Amino acid sequence: MNYNVAIIGAGPGGYVAAIRMAQLGLSVILIEENKLGGICLNKGCIPTKALYSATKLIERAEDAQAMGIEFTTPVIDLEKLSSWKEGVISTLVDGTAALLKANGVTVYQTRGRLEGTGRVALSTGKTVDAERIVLATGSSPIEIPGFTFADPHIWSSDDALALREIPRRLLLIGGGVIGLELATIYNRLGSKVTILEMMPEILPGIDLDRRTIATLKRALKAQGITVRVNTAAKSIEETSEGPVVQIGDGDAVAADRILLAVGRRPNSADIGLETVGIEPDRRGFVPVDKKLQTSAPGVYAIGDLVPGPMLAHKGSAEGLNLAASFVGQNYPLDYQTIPQAIFTDPEIASVGLSEARAREEGQDVIVGRFPYAALGKAQGMRETQGFFQVVADAKSKRLLGTQIVGAEASALIAEAALAVQNGLSLETIADSVHAHPTLPEGLKEAAEAALGRAIHAVNR
Ligand code: NAI
């Protein structure tokens, strides 16, 4: 079998690349051993967001009392919730299959590994020859010494998303994105949640300002989630009361289930890298150049497998960039302007530079903030926590970065991302008419505030 391109891995990097490459006239084979859509669709982004929205109803039902509407205590049917979530996934998996088919991509559901230049060996025994090979094999959760997913008390995010039970006491090891998103879901389901983070602050790997983190931490505390920073999980002991995690100085935390969310590692083992002379770096990432080409001619890599943020939309952007470059076209890829959305309560979303990072880099900046509480729409939604923050170059007023912490931040960041990615100024945002009453007015007001001309906040 001979193709222009063979892609190994059908996550948001691989399948998006396959569709675009086929649209551009290339013959493409996509090789995937599990379900189409990868971790994001099957065991990551999509199931967590489905559960995020479903469990938000529990919280809304409790809160409705203050608005004069009373519900009885919500009853959770875990099996039904799980099968609804699975339905969401299978609709999207089927949709992905239909798109691949409609675009003429050949899909092989089997395991593939490199077998020398221009060749992929399939576990069926067949081989595929291609002018170019794209590796998009993603990443897997890591373990730490003393803590293994083989221990029935220890959950990976896959176990947590399987919704087999609601533990009475759930201990999260790792205050990164996965830990915090799952903490939010299980707290709403009724678990007593504790998060251990070994670094001095939660979300240490993400460029967020202290005010943003402080707002989230206050909210987590109000929700009854315990956060212990500077606290590393050292070892685990099984007692008759269940597992107990030692955190040093004789201190320990007891739990019914432990969710290990201490990071992910690229899936670079056993994909035949050695057959073309590619050496992964010390953390397992496959090094690539600016054109996403590995050290082996004709072999490219995208997504979680290569250095950079482990984000689905980053992998997709790399796939689109690669497709364009294969036919001599251009698709912009600027790692500095990739937005991120974190589905905690409140949500956090950011793009570009934080205020702290911009100042560290020696940039002369102006900053504007606007609170949700000053938005009529937010008041009507009873979603008044949080704020919009814009950071811009003091002279040119070009928007350098935005952080939003509050309801629907994940959606609201899109306007800021458009502005940051296209070098737009604060005036462009401030002078464009935003519909009233809506949450996006918060970004316009923050831009106005940075320019010293906010209408609905006092300018200082
Ligand atoms: P992470 O790297 O974001 O966080 C892991 C955390 O565990 C770190 O803060 C680390 O300091 C801590 N840690 C490590 N060992 C520890 C120990 N012994 N005791 C206590 N804390 C310890 O990794 P995470 O959350 O597993 O996520 C993996 C990747 O997936 C990340 O790159 C993340 O950005 C991405 N992701 C993004 C999402 C989004 O954008 N909404 C959603 C889910 C994942």
Q: Where are the domains of the chain?
A: 2-141+265-335, 154-262, 346-450
Q: For the domain 346-450, what is the CATH code?
A: 3.30.390.30
Helices 78-102 + 14-23 axis angle, to 10: 30
For ligand 1, pick from 231, 310, 316 the residue to mutate: most ligand atoms within 8 Å of CB.
310
Where residue 97 falls among pLDDT bands split at 50, 70, 90? very high
Which has the closest alpha carbon to 342: 428, 269, 406? 406
Q: Which atom of ligand 1 is nearest to the CA of 261?
A: 26
Spatial separation of the C-alpha atoms in residues 356 and 336, rounded to whole Å: 15
Report the pLDDT value the prediction gives residue 91, as an integer from 0 to 100. Answer: 98
Nearest CA to ligand 1 atom 14: 262
Query: pLDDT above 70 covers what percent of the chain?
Result: 100
- CB of 205 within 6 A of ligand 1: the answer is yes
**What is the tens place of the pLDDT at every residue in 351-364?**
999 999 999 999 99
Nearest CA to ligand 1 atom 24: 263
Report the pLDDT value the prediction gives residue 36, as an integer from 0 to 100. Answer: 98
Q: How far is the CA of 425 from the centre of ligand 1 (A)?
A: 33
Q: What is the arithmetic mean of pLDDT over 143-158?
A: 96
Q: Hey, what CATH topology would domain 154-262 get? A: FAD/NAD(P)-binding domain (3.50.50)
Q: How far is the CA of 182 from the centre of ligand 1 (A)?
A: 11
For ligand 1, pick from 194, 247, 253, 262 the residue to mutate: most ligand atoms within 8 Å of CB.
262
Q: Rounded mean pLDDT of the chain?
A: 97
pLDDT of 280 > 80? The answer is: yes
Q: How far is the CA of 179 from the centre of ligand 1 (A)?
A: 7
Q: What is the arithmetic mean of pLDDT over 169-196?
A: 98
Report the pLDDT value the prediction gives residue 285, as an integer from 0 to 100. Answer: 98
Per DSSP, 293 falls in state: B
Spatial separation of the C-alpha atoms in residues 370 and 453, rounded to whole Å: 12
Nearest CA to ligand 1 atom 19: 232
For ligand 1, pick from 43, 52, 178, 404 the residue to mutate: most ligand atoms within 8 Å of CB.
178
- CB of 142 within 6 A of ligand 1: the answer is no
Report the pLDDT value the prediction gives residue 46, as an integer from 0 to 100. Answer: 98
436 catalytically annotated: yes
Report the pLDDT value the prediction gives residue 241, as an integer from 0 to 100. Answer: 86
Q: Do domains 2-141+265-335 and 154-262 have the same CATH topology?
A: yes
Spatial separation of the C-alpha atoms in residues 161 and 169, rounded to whole Å: 16
Where residue 32 falls among pLDDT bands split at 50, 70, 90? very high
Residues in the chain: 460
Q: How far is the CA of 203 from the centre of ligand 1 (A)?
A: 7
Burial class (CB in 10 A: 0-12, 13-18, 19+), 241: exposed
Q: What is the arithmetic mean of pLDDT over 279-306?
A: 98
Where residue 250 falls among pLDDT bands split at 50, 70, 90? confident
Contacts of 290 (CB under 8 A, 6+ apart): none
pLDDT of 459 > 90? The answer is: no
16 in Cβ contact with 97 (< 8 Å): no
Q: What is the arithmetic mean of pLDDT over 403-425?
A: 98
Q: How far is the CA of 103 from the centre of ligand 1 (A)?
A: 36
Where residue 1 falls among pLDDT bands split at 50, 70, 90? confident
- CB of 310 within 6 A of ligand 1: the answer is yes
Where residue 53 falls among pLDDT bands split at 50, 70, 90? very high
Q: Which of 153, 313, 434, 436 is the catalytic position?
A: 436
pLDDT of 335 > 90? The answer is: yes
Nearest CA to ligand 1 atom 15: 262
Query: C-alpha angle with apex 193: 383 to 381, nearest 5 degrees?
Result: 10
For ligand 1, pick from 39, 142, 198, 314 the residue to mutate: most ligand atoms within 8 Å of CB.
198
Report the pLDDT value the prediction gives residue 460, as an integer from 0 to 100. Answer: 77
**Alpha carbon 369 to chain centroid distance?**
25
Q: How far is the CA of 175 from the centre of ligand 1 (A)?
A: 6
- CB of 286 within 6 A of ligand 1: the answer is no
Report the pLDDT value the prediction gives residue 396, as an integer from 0 to 100. Answer: 98
Q: How far is the CA of 359 from the centre of ligand 1 (A)?
A: 26
Q: What is the arithmetic mean of pLDDT over 43-69?
A: 96
Which value, to the nearest 10 degrees, does the dihedral of the CA atoms of residues 331, 332, 333, 334 take? 180
pLDDT of 249 > 90? The answer is: no
118 in Cβ contact with 130 (< 8 Å): yes
Report the pLDDT value the prediction gives residue 18, as an integer from 0 to 100. Answer: 98
CATH number for 2-141+265-335: choose from 3.50.50.60, 3.20.20.140, 3.30.450.20, 3.40.50.1820: 3.50.50.60
**What is the tens place of the pLDDT at every residue in 426-454?**
999 999 999 999 999 999 999 999 999 99
The pair phi, psi for residue 313, each rounded to 5°, is -70, -20
Edge-to-edge strands, sheet with 399-405: 340-342, 348-352, 399-405, 387-393, 365-371
Nearest CA to ligand 1 atom 31: 310
